[in-house]
């Protein structure tokens, strides 16, 4: 158990809908990362927050947005969902924002868009 929690575990929704994925980092970790894992794209870094501020941006679509709240939990919002958004979404956390920081991964949220 990494100490990172993600809810929900599974999510099934329809095209065009909007969903919110939630992540609670390990106690004491200030940095939160979001990743998408799909069969065709592999593991892709989406976005990172550090202590409430956006720190780094990867291949995140404009339909997706994220934020980190004062209690350090983070939410990833996915809107206007398409079939291709079906994937496993991981959250990770680390103590620092440095590129050498070890990240601790949550168990993931499996999103299925029908």
Partner 1 sequence: AQSVTQLDSHVSVSEGTPVLLRCNYSSSYSPSLFWYVQHPNKGLQLLLKYTSAATLVKGINGFEAEFKKSETSFHLTKPSAHMSDAAEYFCVVSLYSSASKIIFGSGTRLSIRP
Min dist CB 108 to partner 1, Å, is 6
Closest to partner 1 by CB, 64 vs 90, is 90
Q: Which residues contact 89 (CB under 8 A, 6 or more apart)?
A: 6, 21, 34, 35, 36, 37, 76, 108, 109, 110, 111
Nearer to partner 1, 26 or 79 (CB): 26
- Binding site residues, partner 1, CB under 8 A: 2, 4, 33, 35, 42-45, 48, 55-58, 90, 92, 97-100, 102-108
In the bound state with partner 1, the residue whose beta carbon lies nearer, of 18 and 57, is 57
Rg (CA), the chain: 13
Place of tokens 């993931």: 108
């Amino acid at each position: 158990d990494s100490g990172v929690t993600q809810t929900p575990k599974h999510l099934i929704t329809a095209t065009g809908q909007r969903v919110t994925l939630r992540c609670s980092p390990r106690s004491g970790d200030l940095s939160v990362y979001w990743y998408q894992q799909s069969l065709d794209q592999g593991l892709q870094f989406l976005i990172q927050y550090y202590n409430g501020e956006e720190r780094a941006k990867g291949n995140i679509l404009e339909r997706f947005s994220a934020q980190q709240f004062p209690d350090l939990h983070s939410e990833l919002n996915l809107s206007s969902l398409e079939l291709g958004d079906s994937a496993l979404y991981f959250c990770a956390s680390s103590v620092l924002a440095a590129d050498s920081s070890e990240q601790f991964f949550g168990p993931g949220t499996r999103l299925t868009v029908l």
